[in-house]
Amino acid sequence: MLIRHAPDLTDNDVTDHGLYLKRRTLMAGLAGLGLAGAASEARAGLAYTKGFSTTEKPTSKDDITTYNNFYEFGVDKSDPSQKSGRFKPRPWTVRIDGACEAPRTVAIEDLIGKNRLEERIYRMRCVEGWSMVIPWIGFPLKDLLATVKPTSKAKFVAFETVMRPSEMPGQSWNTLEWPYREGLRIDEAMHPLTLMAVGLYGDVLPNQNGAPLRLVVPWKYGFKGAKSIVRISLVEKMPATSWNKLAAREYGFYSNVNPAVDHPRWSQATERRIGEFRRRETLPFNGYGEWVADLYKGMDLRANF
Ligand SMILES: Nc1nc2c(c(=O)[nH]1)N[C@H]1C(S)=C(S)[C@@H](COP(=O)(O)O)O[C@H]1N2
Ligand SMILES: [Mo]
């Protein structure tokens, strides 16, 4: 048995909560994440977090892995799957530094082996007006940040994608300022919904989805979820972010999903769920308001879009 500590995932949960995979299949997939070794077996756990996962039907694996935004590989939706074959997500280390007592550099194997992996089925809403339901595998970002002991000066968290023009053909074009940068306020980063994903559909994360490690913030527009992360820095000031630098009027730092605040060039009131024909209404905070609306109490979400 690959994962010993999975007492909260039963076959009843599988049918009751619409989990797309049987436990056995999920555990087999985790072998792909390097969890087959005896050492990992003792350390790793897999939880199915009730409540946070949606019961909506996941988008097909085919759509999730061929309809992508990852401008490092090109601007067309098919570029990431077609042009990421040369990208090497291993070996890989992530530097975690800045306003913390114990900065460190950690290998992807340690992140996967030492964190309690969970499946989280989240909605993802792109700022362009389409959405998906994606069964991620990962761990809360707050668990990782806790290991470096943030100081009181840590007000924001900055994320940086790898810079590797020889493997990422899109980095030869000035579509965005490279490396891709994103950021969160510290309370957003520490929120239990905020995930570091290392897999999807029970298997290791494909290159086009941000291997080997990407951020997932389900109540924000998809571009906040930086892919292929090499550096996470705790900082005092709001960090510069790639899309905001390109067009500040169009892509705010917060970028919470908000049907009432239109993009200057299109409405955000509705969205196209990939695989469906009719458009659906977009929900405030992408439907996660009951957990995150409090983070923005007293803030003007039009001025701070
Ligand atoms: N490094 C990097 N991260 C990125 C992007 C990108 O171009 N580069 N695109 C973002 C956008 S716009 C979206 S919608 C999501 C898409 O994630 P997916 O392709 O896994 O669905 O990734 C985000 N993360
Ligand atoms: Mo996006």
Q: Determine if ligand 1 sits within 6 Å of the CB of residue 71.
A: yes
Rg (CA), the chain: 18
Which ligand lies nearest the alpha carbon of 71? 1
Give 15's contacts (C-beta < 8 A, 6+ positions apart).
none
Residues 161-176: what's their mean pLDDT? 98
**286 dihedral zone (left: phi>0; alpha: psi -120 to 50; beta):** left
Residues 160-189: what's their mean pLDDT? 98
Tens-place pLDDT, residues 211-245: 999 999 999 999 999 999 999 999 999 999 999 99
CA of residue 49 relative to chain centroid, distance: 16
The one-letter code for the residue type at 13 is D
Ligand 1: atom nearest CA of 176 is: 7
Give 240's contacts (C-beta < 8 A, 6+ positions apart).
181, 183
User: In percent, how much of the chain has pLDDT > 90?
Assistant: 83
Quote the pLDDT of residue 8: 40
Residue the block writes with tokens 């659906």: 280
Q: How confident is the model at residue 11 (pLDDT cuts 50, 70, 90)?
A: very low
Q: List domains and CATH numbers for the chain.
A: 6-296 (3.90.420.10)
Residue the block writes with tokens 């039963």: 10
Q: Determine if ligand 1 sits within 6 Å of the CB of residue 180.
A: yes
pTM: 0.89
Any known ligand binding at 258?
Answer: no
Tens-place pLDDT, residues 84-141: 999 999 999 999 999 999 999 999 999 999 999 999 999 999 999 999 999 999 999 9
Lowest mean pLDDT among 29-33, 129-133, 227-231, 283-287: 29-33
Please name the residue whose Cα sits nearest to atom 20 of ligand 1.
209
